[in-house]
Amino acid sequence: MFAKSSLVFSLIFCVFSIAYSQNRARINLDENWKFHFGNAADPAKDFNYGIANIYKKSGEAGNTPINPKFNDSGWRTLDLPHDWAIELPFVNSPNFDVLAHGYKPVGGLFPETSIGWYRKKFFVDKSDSAKKMFIQFDGIFRNANVWLNGFFIGHNKSGYIGVDYNLSDFIKYGEENTLVVRVDATQYEGWFYEGAGIYRHVWLYKSNDLHINSGKVFIHSKQDSKMATVTAEIPLVNDKNGRTNGYVYTYITTRDGKKIASSKPTNFDISSFGKKLITQTITVPNPNLWSIDDPYLYRLITILKSGNKTVDSVNTRFGVRKIEVTTKGLFIIWTKTVCSTAVMNT
């Protein structure tokens, strides 16, 4: 039961974006993928997946698409995002498995169109050999296994949560790299149309050993009628064998790039292969509240320095709006009026 008095607090909407510089880069990997259906019921029709040793130390993974030497010349070439379910015809069946996939032939009843294999070749220059390399999948539906150059990188079952992997120990610098994703859409997570495949973008990130875990920057705020106190929680990662130190500072700009507030520098010291969470607070006078009519987003710029050199920087967009929880429900406030967008009665 809610108390009689209302609870008022600020809500931050964050949209992650990368700061392009010599210290960090984000490269889109959407183009020129190879695609082919596998088979959920017959390993022989699934390119020997489940028969061959897919975890060989050599990284060759037998005669499967995981092997970099596998011949995929007969596979379909496409660009991401890709949803193979939407390309399939509708089917008429009373089975709930079909209903959950939007009456498309995906699921346990259709093993021949419920597994998808994706392969991608890409090149990384030798000059990047000192960088840390990560790959980020914004969305795969679903149950995906990922390999690079024949080595297993990771697994993610969810069709709705993006995932990233550290590729640094498996990248071939100055050579061709082979990225492989096996997607299994036989199961479902909801009763609505869910699709199948790598349905969002794929990104290759490169950064220094000492860097900001940029996708994990968390921003929240407290607000009164005249100002918002913005708190940023910044995770630092030291991926090298050696203790390091430096300092972090942040500043906020308008969406037009005008600097309006900044923090004081925060010193840090991180052990070898260690992590550190830095918290900084900035006051924004007369905040411009996010609304449907004016979806205003500020920019939080985070600068990481070590040895008097900038080693990383990240740009995180965020919006502020006030919400109020009372005995009548949940209210979102972006002007002097109150807009009820959801009600939670008790």
User: Among candidates 305, 234, 300, which has minimal Cα distance to 267?
Assistant: 305
Work out the average pLDDT over 130-159. 94
Residue among 227, 224, 221, 223 nearest 286 (CA):
227
Tell me how far apart the alpha carbons of residues 71 and 63 are, in angstroms, rounded to a whole number. Answer: 10
Q: H-type helices in 193-308, by residue range?
A: none
Length of the chain, please? 346
Q: What is the mean pLDDT of residues 221-247?
A: 90
CATH superfamily of 24-207: Galactose-binding domain-like (2.60.120.260)
pLDDT tens track for 59-112? 556 789 999 999 999 999 999 999 999 999 999 877 766 777 788 899 888 999
* Higher per-residue confidence, 318 vs 292: 318
Give the DSSP letter of residue 150.
Answer: T
Can you give the residue ranges of every domain in the chain? Answer: 7-23+210-342, 24-207
- Whether 7-23+210-342 shares its CATH topology with 24-207 is answered no
Mean pLDDT computed over 6-13 = 49
Residue 221: pLDDT band (50, 70, 90) is confident
Query: Among 122, 182, 116, which Cα is nearest to 149's?
Result: 122
Could you tell me which CATH number the domain at 7-23+210-342 has? 2.60.40.10
Q: Per-residue pLDDT tens for 257-311?
A: 999 999 999 999 999 999 999 999 999 999 988 888 888 999 999 999 999 899 9
DSSP 65-122: TTSTT---TTSEEE-SS--HHHHSPP-----HHHHTTTTSS-STT-GGGSEEEEEEEE
What is the average pLDDT across 310-329? 86
The per-residue pLDDT for range 189-220, each reduced to its tens digit, is 877 788 899 999 999 999 999 999 877 899 98
**Whether the predicted pLDDT of 255 surpasses 70:** yes
Separation in Å, CA 271 to CA 130, 238, 242: 19, 7, 7
Task: State the amino acid at position 181 in one-letter form.
Answer: V
Q: Is the dihedral of CA 197, 199, 204, 207 positive or negative?
A: negative
Two structure tokens written together for 90 = 């509708």
Tell me which residue has tokens 């036989």.
186
pLDDT bucket at 336, cuts 50 / 70 / 90:
very low
Residue 232 CB partners (closer than 8 Å, separation 6+): 217, 218, 219, 250, 263, 279, 280, 281, 282, 300, 302, 316
- CA-CA-CA-CA torsion sign (130, 22, 207, 279): positive
Residue 332, pLDDT > 60, answer yes
Locate 198 and state its tokens: 């790598």
